[in-house]
């Protein structure tokens, strides 16, 4: 699967949107800092697992479970960055 976002793309996320499986989420991670990944699973306590869409992405196992307080927002809009030479 090809990644939805490329390096340099912009996203707009909201804390008001409910996290659901399949949506992109912006989260804070103690090691990897800010991540934008797709929600893979949600448990009964509201914790969730994320997965990347790129083969070289950080694995779900390495990221581990995220708590709801780590969620910075759910992405609802993205904009591709201008390509070099297009400005």
Position 83 pLDDT exceeds 80: no
CATH of 10-79, one of 3.40.640.10, 3.40.50.620, 3.40.50.2300, 2.10.109.10: 2.10.109.10
Cα separation, 28 vs 50, in Å, equals: 12
Residue 85: pLDDT over 80: no
pLDDT tens per residue, range 36-65? 999 999 999 999 999 998 888 899 999 999
pTM, whole model, 2 decimals? 0.87
Contacts of residue 8, Cβ cutoff 8 Å, sequence gap at least 6 = 81
What the block records as the tokens of 50 is: 């994320």
- Rounded CA gap, 46 and 58, in Å? 22
Helix-strand-coil percent breakdown of the chain, rounded to 5?
A: 10, 40, 50
Q: Where are the domains of the chain?
A: 10-79
Strands 71-79 and 24-29, by their bridges, are antiparallel
For residue 2, is pLDDT > 80?
no
């Amino acid at each position: 699967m090809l990644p939805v976002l490329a390096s340099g793309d912009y996203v707009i996320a909201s804390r008001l949107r409910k996290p659901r499986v399949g949506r992109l989420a912006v989260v804070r991670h103690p090691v990897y800092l800010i991540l934008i990944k797709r929600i893979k699973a949600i448990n009964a306590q509201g914790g969730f697992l994320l997965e990347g869409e790129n083969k070289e992405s950080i694995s779900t196992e390495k990221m581990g479970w995220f708590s709801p307080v780590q969620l910075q927002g759910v992405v609802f809009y993205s904009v591709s960055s201008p390509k070099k030479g297009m400005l």
